[in-house]
Structure 1
Amino acid sequence: PLAHRLEVVPSGDGRTWIDDGLATAPQAVAAALTSVAAPRIALIAGGSERDLDFSPIVDALAGRDDIELVCTGPAGARLAREAQGRAARIHVASGFADAVAIARSLTASGDTILLSPGAPSFDEFADYEARAAAFRGFAAEHAQ
């Protein structure tokens, strides 16, 4: 795959960590959710607000009890509100590091942590590459 597009990153914790940081459009997140299979998926979504239509993400979450939606940033807060009643499990994080910690706490070996934000990174990071580097750093914390 392309860098930052459904790219599996190294980790030693038994989870599959997927960097889909280039997925800053809701349609790309919906596509990612159809291509990832795991017993449990923690989707980290959100970032800075562009007022995009999140209905593709919400529609992709509907009826999926295998997905933990972990929202971050202003866009994530809006996604959490819009997904109420459609997504089975919604968690709102105080920032990106908290979102990763929540995702890690909700998953176990064999599960997947998917960074597919559906929003730009500018709420906390200079660009998508900086957000991806932070994600990779968290994944590597348990690498052996």
Structure 2
Amino acid sequence: MVGQGLQNTGFSTIRYGLALNLLSIGRLKFESYEVENIRPLVTASPLFSRLLTELGEQKLARVIGATEMITGSLIAARPFAPRASALGSLGAAGIFATTLSFLATTPEAWQERRREPKLSLAGQFLVKDIVLLGASLLTAAESLQASRRTQSTTR
């Protein structure tokens, strides 16, 4: 009984923390200083460097920000739209897998002049996305299960 309540509280904390994270960070993409902050990441990325050329820095940042905000909103919709929440969680998993790819494509993610690889401040900022990726997968699975339960009770 206590274990189930703790699990439910944990899932809610993960879900709404993930949604808040995406909403907050997405909103920042509309600020000029955040455009500057993501510049090294997007210019070094094969995928984003092409989009950067086509859209420019400010538009690309806004597209990223809008995507993050929509994704966060979908995740938060779990109580009344579990399928949409699952879709949002899977979208978040894609976002965090993409940001983790910046560890491989951004030279500034690693400290230079070290014998063994060591993360720089930028790399330390990116590595947290491993936890967010896991949270996204957990909330996707839980939302899909809730959606199936809802479907089976409405039949």
Shorter-chain TM-score above 0.5: no
In proportion to residue count, which structure has more helix? 2
- TM bin, normalised by shorter chain, reads under 0.3
Q: Quick check: which has more Rg, 1 or 2? A: 2
**TM-score in terms of structure 2 length:** 0.26
Query: Whose relative contact order is higher, 1 or 2, with alpha carbons under 8 Å and at least 6 apart?
Result: 1
